[in-house]
Each structure stands twice: as structure tokens, then as C-alpha cells.
Structure 1
Amino acid sequence: MHEQRTDVDANIDATAATDVEADVVVVGGGSAGIAAAVSASEEGARTLLLESSGSVGGTLAWQLLEHSAGFHDVRGNQVVGGFGQRLVDRLVRGGGSPGHVRDDVGYTATRTPVDHAELALTESIMLAEAGVEVWLQSGPHAIHRAGDVIEFLAVHTPNGPRRVRAPVIIDASGDAVVASLAGVPMQPDTADTQPASLLFKLGGVDVGALLDYLREHPSEVRPGSTLGYGTDEHANVWGLGELLSAGYTSGKLGLRRTELHLAAWPQRGEVVVNATRTPVRSGDGWAGAAHAQLSHQVLQFVRWMREDVPGFAHCHLTAVGDRVGIRESRRVVGVYTMTGDDVRCGARFDDSIGCGAFPIDIHSADRPGLSHTDAVGAGFEIPARILFVPACANLVVAGRCLSSTHEANGSLRITATCFVTGEAAGVAAALAVEHGIHPEKGDYDLLRQRLLARDAIVSLNGGS
């Protein structure tokens, strides 16, 4: 392994002609990465964000997630503030979100619909306002290590290869790209990795007709659901099991599902549909075979909905996620690994940097519905130690690749929680640069104080 890394290093030296330096480099421009980059820059660090696609926004924006979730516990108490709430407030002011609204299906207390394009544009502006340098269509393909420290990243850019150096690297790539290149140990429980999906958006939908049908057929919706009307601004539907069963039996649908999720903007006639899925191996979410399989499913669902689902007779496909949607892939082994019991039992930690409260949401890769869902009550605290990687002293992780078990990841991967871990990672990185130390060696009390000053909610009691 050492010899192989030496060969890779030689290739780096030969091909990367230009060195670029920053205080903090963030890899990944999704929810966690944007929160990390903005926070690090606002805390005084010269920050560079690398995003492999042509736009920031990540899964929430460009995989067309139905809404952001996880801001409140089951009782409606807010558990996520800080950067995530700042972003929501800004979207509300600009008309890009109604803010936190009731979850019609009763799965959580609230959900936060967003206009996907306005979200991405707003995040791009916030990065610029914070002074973050952003490189789009740019991502690391190799790293150079000296012992347990990453010395630089070798980065592909539209302008050729670059070597990027920084005392702290934040991996917010979702797939643990930097950690994997650095040879960091990964969590072993990958056999039950959640399936991949491809969400799609339909226009020309008579949402009122769909809601009327569901009112007449209450067995078609999740128990406890609240059904709105076609004049509402937003609607959330979970169900259609009977129509799905008939579609599979008739051969119109090749994928057997017992439920699907619809997030609707009735006044616009738009609906985002979460129905497709296919198994993927950990770290294999970019495979073309998965995308082709999911694409086939999308077109089947569109045709079936036109023919068999009330309100969809004149619908048309307006958008599809820009890449395969990955719920779970590689997760690092950190200083501490958060477990399912931590999440279920409302664990508290002296080094807590934020909170979560979304249910443990496990989708089955080989069954027609959810594998299981575990409620988490008033929520749980998130320790700073899951962000730090013993095998790589200057690497911090945030988002779904942080140190957690398969079950814990079912809650931690949610976008509101990604804002939490991203902001904490960014502040921790800036503090490490400020004090000339590696992030894990930082003062956790100082980290919490800085987060509180940013209106983050660092513990379940809301205080320090």
C-alpha cells in the first residue's frame, strides 16, 4: 500500500503544475459543504470550496428532494438553528420557501419545502457574500500524505490540474471521497446500504383531483395523514399502495412498491415523486447501470401515472435529479462512532455541537417499502468527535460520510442535520487554523461557544 501511494504521489508531482493555498479546503458543495465553507470563512479562515458539478446545492437542490427535514422534534420543538435556519429565513424572504410547515403525513412535526433552483442560487450568493472562493467542475483525484497529515490535494479543474494545500481539509462530499483517497478506515457495516433513487418532477398535474380521490379512498394514504385541497400552496402525500399494487399486477410497473411519496405545489400544478429505487454497493452510486435502471423506472412511473392516477392525465416530465440519489455510502471511522442506540435513546454528550430529531429512516433495497422507521422522541445530541478522523489529523468530515453506524446514518443523513454538522466542521476548522493545531485537538467548549454565537442549537436544552 505504501509503494502504491508513492507511485500515485509521483504522478501528482508530474501532472499538477500549479500550487494554490488556502486555510481551509471544503470538498463538496451540498448542504454540509456549503454550511462548512460559509462558516469557516465567516470565522476568519481563507476558504476554498471544490464542487465537482457545475453548481452548488447538492442533493437537496439538484436531486430534487421533496423538502428539507429535521428542523423540529416530534413535538414541534426546534432542534436545528444556525446556518440552516439562516438559509431558510432568506428563502422565505425571497419567496423560495414557505418556511417550516406542518408535515401532512405525520412522519415528523414539520417539513420545509424549497424551490430547488432558488435554493441553489441563494446558496451561491451566500458563499460569495462570506468570501468563499468556489471552484466548480473541480474535484480531487488523488492526495499526498506525510504521515497522518494530508499535505495537498491533486485537483482536476477546467483550467488543468492544480495542487491545493491547506492546513485543514473538510470532506463534505457525501461519498467520503477525500477520506477514501487518504486510505482512512471506513465503517464495516455496509452490507445493508440503503438503495439509490432518482427523483423526478411532473408539471401539468391537477393536484386537487388527486387529493379529492384520496379523501374518497382513505386507505390509500398513511394513517394520520391530513389532506389539503387544490387551492393550498403545498401538499404532502404518502401512500397510493392500492394503485401501485394494481399497476404492478397489470405489468405497467416493473418495480413493486407498497408506497410512494409525493410533494406537491398545487397552485403550480407541480409534483415531485419519490418512487424509484435500486440496490447499490457502498461507494458505487455513480455507476451508469444504476442510472439506466432508475431511468427506466422513472419513465414507467410517468406513463402509469398518466393512465391510472387521478389528476395526472395531462402531466409531463419537467425535471429529473441530475445524478443518482445516494442515501448512504462510505462512512469514516472517527474518534467516536454514533450508534442507533445513541439516536433512539436521546444521547447527550459533553462535546455536543448540535442536535437531530428525524426518525431513523431505513429504506429497503430489496423490499417494496421502508425497511423500518424508529422514532427518536425529543431528539439526540451530536458529538464533535464524529467529525474527526484519528487516521488523518487534519481531516474533518461532515454530512452523511461522518462516523456513524448504518442505523444512526438513517437519521444523521437528513439535510437539516447536514447543515448542523457542516457548520460545526467549518467552525472547528477555522479555530484549528486560528490556533495552529489539528482540529481534533481543539477546545470543544470554545467550539460550542462559537456555534452558540452563530445562533446554533448545540444541545437539547438549547444552551451551552
Structure 2
Amino acid sequence: MKSARETFDVAVIGGGSAGLAAAVTAARQGARTLLIERHGYLGGMGTASLVHSFCGLYLLRDEPGAVLANPGFASEMAERMIAATGIGPVRMGRVDVLPQHPVEFVRIADELISAEPMIELRLHSEVTSISRESDWNIGISGRSGAQSLTARALVDASGDATAAAMLGLDSAMVDAPRLQRPAYVFGVHRPGGLLGDSERLETAGLITEGIREGCVPRDAMGLTFRSSGRDSEIFGTLDLSGGENYDPFDARCLTQLEILGRSIAAKTVAWLAGKSVIWNGSYVSQWPVRAGVRESRRWIGEYVLTGSDLLAGNRFEDEVALATWPMEFRETARGPKLRFPKENQPAGIPLRCLKPVGMDGLFVAGRCISADHEAQASIRVMGTCFATGEAAGRAAASFRHP
């Protein structure tokens, strides 16, 4: 353990979409910034969980033509990803999404961090304690041992409102039956690459046949496949049910889910490869580092964004970002249910949603901002997380003690 306690202007917990945006923004404002991430690379759901689309970047529109909703970091990430993959926004029903490749996301994140001398990145590090004197005292731990740090301002971009739990502050989480189901995404080598419409139909029929014959798990019924943008590579996506006792914080529960996801994926791909020439030679080529948790604990801030706000397209004087993704409910493993705002109007996200009640110098970003269960079904997507992360990083960099 180091004897000297390092001091920073801003500390950011979590290096996912929101945490990356917060750290880069704070550093660009001149703040000496610490970014703490438990995995070996940044990107969160977009890399460790292989979620391969940036949702929430674009305004909802009936007519074709994607229009970026939030200038700044979100738009910068869109430009960087398009340059990396050569793929622009794709229309899917009533929404526009930007395909992204997790490998490119990791590279872009590394480049962004390396370009900012005011950022110190700590990968393979877990936050173990948080307390407050005049500054924030933060304990982190890795294989080399424990270390204590201080920061003037703190950003919780953990996705799980980690700081709320450690500080004993109020937070909210719906009961397990209503929690959004976790996603399980995996890579597949398929010599034919992208599936055409007729191949998708044949694949769906084969999965149904496999379930009926007892060769494929019933949970594979909702499995979908999408192109990765690379030759001979596609991604498979499952929604795992989790059951009535699903707990996104319980290691035993998460362990069972990870094993279940791998089992479903492996058995399904093996069945397809053995039954159809369009799948001949296919195999699972990549597992995620972890299943994609869509919802857990949320902060209670100075304002709680609601589903009613989103449906009405409410705007606020202190808004720092726009929420443009429909409320996407995945409370079961039977696929999404979408609720769209009136006349496709975006809702504002006020700065008050990023400020916990009665706690100065602490800001939140990403899927754990102050929102109810319904609103969280919209704001949790990566495009919106980039925007709230940028806002939190700017607010943290400008914070001064009263």
C-alpha cells in the first residue's frame, strides 16, 4: 500500500459509456481526473457485454434520415465509430441505431484516454469504500493491494449506484419480477456472415424445431442474430429470464445466469451447424466478459425523471441532455415492448437528475441517474449515457466547495 494519498480534482467510478464521457469531459475542462474501472478495458456494456449498437443517439422521426440528438461527446463518439467501421446509422422499425463493434469501441476509448494528460486510468480496480470529509475519500483495491485516494468531486457512473450503497444514501430499485431482464450477447463465426431474410426465417424455424425435439433449450426461442460488420462474424443476443429471484447484485445469481447463457448459445449454434447448410462450419467464437445488466439500483436525485415526462416530451430549464430512445421494456424474456413519446418529441434530462438529494460535490451519470423504472427503460442506452456522462463530468470539473 502506498503511504502517500493521491489527490484528484474529479474521480469517476465506472468506465462504461457514461464514465468514459465524464472522465474525458472533466479532463478537457482542466480537472485532474481519476477513472476507476474493474475490467481490463473501457466501454462497459458496449465492450464487456458485447452490446453492438449505440441506441439513443438520434432523434425519433417518422421520415427517413438520422439526426443526432445531443451535440458534444455523443456526437463525437458517433463520428469516431462511423470512421472506424465504415457503417452509418441503420433504420430499425421506427428508430435509428448506429452499429458499433466492441473491438473498435475499446480502441477508441484507449485513444481518447491517451490523448488527455489530465486523466489517470486505473483498470482492474474496485472501489471498496467512500467517505466524505472536506473532500471525498475513496478506497480502491486490486491484486496489488489497497490504496486510498481523495478527490474534490465524485461521479458515480457505475451503473449500479455504487456510491449510494457505500454512503448509505437513498436509492431505488424495483422488485425482481419487474427488473429489466439481462442480455447475453456472444460472437459467432459463420462462413456466410450476414443472414438474409430467408435465412433468418429458416433459422427461426430450425430453433423452433430444436426446442420441440428437446435438443435446444426453450430459452433460445427469443435468440436473434445480427451482422457485426465484419466478414464471417455475427452476434447472437439472448434475453435471460433470471426468474422471480433475479438479483443483479448477487454473485450466485449472476454465476448461474452466465452459465445458462453460455449453455443456451453453445447448444443452439451446434444444433444449427448440424442441421442446415447455411450454418455449416459455424461455431461460437467469443463469450462476453459478463452478461449485460440493464437495470439495478438507481439514485434518488433532486428530480426524479418519470415515464410520464418521457411520454409527454417534457422539457426543463436546467436540462443537460435529451432522451430520444423509446421506453424499451424487457421485463420478460419474450422480447421488447416499446412505448413512444407523443409526436416523437424528445424529453429533457435536467441536471437535477444527476445531483443526489442533499449531497454537494457528487454527480451521477448513465443508467443509475435519478429516474423511475419507466424512464430508466429509455435513458439507460449508450447514446444517452454518453450525454449524461458528459454533463456530469462538466459539472464535477466546475465544482467548488461552498
Tell me the TM-score normalized by structure 1.
Answer: 0.78
Is 1:249 the counterpart of 2:239 in the alignment? no
Report the alpha carbon displacement of residue 26 of structure 1 after superposing the two structures with TM. Answer: 0.4
Q: Which residue of 2 aligns with 1:127?
A: 113
1:403/1:16 Cα in 2 relative to 1: closer, same or farther (>3 Å)? Answer: farther
Report the alpha carbon displacement of residue 16 of structure 1 after superposing the two structures with TM. Answer: 7.5
Q: Which residue of 2 aligns with 1:403?
A: 370
Report the alpha carbon displacement of residue 181 of structure 1 after superposing the two structures with TM. Answer: 0.9
Report the alpha carbon displacement of residue 323 of structure 1 after superposing the two structures with TM. Answer: 1.1
| Worse overlay, 326-335 or 73-82 | 73-82
Q: Is the 8 A contact 2:185 2:288 kept in 1?
A: yes
Q: Which residue of 2 aligns with 1:331?
A: 298
Q: Which residue of 2 aligns with 1:416?
A: 383
Identity of aligned residues (%): 28
1:156/1:306 Cα in 2 relative to 1: closer, same or farther (>3 Å)? Answer: same
1:172/1:156 Cα in 2 relative to 1: closer, same or farther (>3 Å)? Answer: same
Q: Is the 8 A contact 2:82 2:88 kept in 1?
A: no
Deviations 1:401-445 (A, max 9, x none): 111111111110100000000000000111114xx44xxxxxxxx
Q: Which residue of 2 aligns with 1:204?
A: 190
Q: Is the 8 A contact 1:27 1:170 kept in 2?
A: yes
In structure 2, C-alpha distance between the alignment counterparts of 1:266 and 1:180, rounded to whole Å: 40
Match of 1:375 among 318, 340, 359: 340
Q: Which residue of 1 aligns with 2:224?
A: 261
In structure 1, C-alpha distance between the alignment counterparts of 2:206 and 2:94, rounded to whole Å: 21
The AA in structure 2 aligned to 1:382 is I
Tell me the secondary structure at the aligned position of residue 80 of structure 2: helix
Q: Which residue of 2 aligns with 1:101?
A: 89
The AA in structure 2 aligned to 1:50 is I
- Counting only pairs closer than 5 Å after superposition, residues 76-155 of structure 1 correspond to structure 2 as 76-93=66-83, 96-103=84-91, 105-108=92-95, 110-131=96-117, 132-146=119-133, 151-155=136-140
Tell me the secondary structure at the aligned position of residue 419 of structure 1: helix
Is 1:23 the counterpart of 2:3 in the alignment? no
Report the alpha carbon displacement of residue 241 of structure 1 after superposing the two structures with TM. Answer: 5.0
Q: Which residue of 2 aligns with 1:34?
A: 20
In structure 1, C-alpha distance between the alignment counterparts of 2:87 and 2:371, rounded to whole Å: 29
In structure 2, C-alpha distance between the alignment counterparts of 1:310 and 1:412, rounded to whole Å: 41
Report the alpha carbon displacement of residue 256 of structure 1 after superposing the two structures with TM. Answer: 3.6
The AA in structure 1 aligned to 2:371 is S
Q: Is the 8 A contact 2:199 2:278 kept in 1?
A: no
Tell me the TM-score normalized by structure 2.
Answer: 0.90
For structure 1, list consecutive stretches of 5 or more residues without a partner in the other structure.
1-14, 221-239, 438-464
- Counting only pairs closer than 5 Å after superposition, residues 310-325 of structure 1 correspond to structure 2 as 311-325=278-292
In structure 1, C-alpha distance between the alignment counterparts of 2:306 and 2:207, rounded to whole Å: 34
The AA in structure 2 aligned to 1:45 is A
In structure 1, C-alpha distance between the alignment counterparts of 2:302 and 2:234, rounded to whole Å: 42
Question: How many positions carry a matched residue from both structures?
Answer: 390
Report the alpha carbon displacement of residue 99 of structure 1 after superposing the two structures with TM. Answer: 4.8
Tell me the secondary structure at the aligned position of residue 314 of structure 1: coil
Tell me the secondary structure at the aligned position of residue 54 of structure 1: coil
Q: Is the 8 A contact 1:28 1:51 kept in 2?
A: yes
- Over the residues paired in the alignment, what is the CA RMSD in angstroms? 2.3
Q: Is the 8 A contact 2:17 2:44 kept in 1?
A: yes
Deviations 1:86-107 (A, max 9, x none): 12222333xx22353222x314
Deviations 1:379-406 (A, max 9, x none): 2111111101114322211011111111
In structure 1, C-alpha distance between the alignment counterparts of 2:48 and 2:130, rounded to whole Å: 28
The AA in structure 2 aligned to 1:86 is E
- Counting only pairs closer than 5 Å after superposition, residues 7-18 of structure 1 correspond to structure 2 as 17-18=3-4
Q: Is the 8 A contact 1:388 1:396 kept in 2?
A: yes
Report the alpha carbon displacement of residue 368 of structure 1 after superposing the two structures with TM. Answer: 2.7
Is the strand fraction higher in 1 or 2?
2
- Counting only pairs closer than 5 Å after superposition, residues 353-392 of structure 1 correspond to structure 2 as 353-365=320-332, 367-370=333-336, 372-376=337-341, 377-392=344-359
Q: Which residue of 2 aligns with 1:10?
A: none
- Runs of 4+ with >6 A deviation: none
Report the alpha carbon displacement of residue 265 of structure 1 after superposing the two structures with TM. Answer: 4.0
Tell me the secondary structure at the aligned position of residue 273 of structure 1: strand
Report the alpha carbon displacement of residue 74 of structure 1 after superposing the two structures with TM. Answer: 2.5
- Counting only pairs closer than 5 Å after superposition, residues 42-57 of structure 1 correspond to structure 2 as 42-57=28-43
Deviations 1:177-200 (A, max 9, x none): 222111121114344111123210
Q: Is the 8 A contact 1:17 1:161 kept in 2?
A: no
In structure 2, C-alpha distance between the alignment counterparts of 1:30 and 1:126, rounded to whole Å: 13
1:80/1:300 Cα in 2 relative to 1: closer, same or farther (>3 Å)? Answer: farther
Q: Which residue of 2 aligns with 1:275?
A: 238
Deviations 1:276-325 (A, max 9, x none): 41323243377322222222222122223323466222112211111121
Q: Is the 8 A contact 1:353 1:382 kept in 2?
A: yes
The AA in structure 2 aligned to 1:82 is G
Tell me the secondary structure at the aligned position of residue 338 of structure 1: coil
Deviations 1:117-155 (A, max 9, x none): 121122112112122110111121112234xx7630111
In structure 1, C-alpha distance between the alignment counterparts of 2:398 and 2:207, rounded to whole Å: 52
Q: Is the 8 A contact 2:85 2:229 kept in 1?
A: no
The AA in structure 1 aligned to 2:208 is S
Report the alpha carbon displacement of residue 266 of structure 1 after superposing the two structures with TM. Answer: 6.2
In structure 2, C-alpha distance between the alignment counterparts of 1:64 and 1:267, rounded to whole Å: 14
Report the alpha carbon displacement of residue 258 of structure 1 after superposing the two structures with TM. Answer: 4.9
Is 1:58 the counterpart of 2:48 in the alignment? no
In structure 1, C-alpha distance between the alignment counterparts of 2:268 and 2:23, rounded to whole Å: 38
1:407/1:401 Cα in 2 relative to 1: closer, same or farther (>3 Å)? Answer: same
Match of 2:165 among 173, 180, 188: 180
In structure 2, C-alpha distance between the alignment counterparts of 1:168 and 1:380, rounded to whole Å: 28
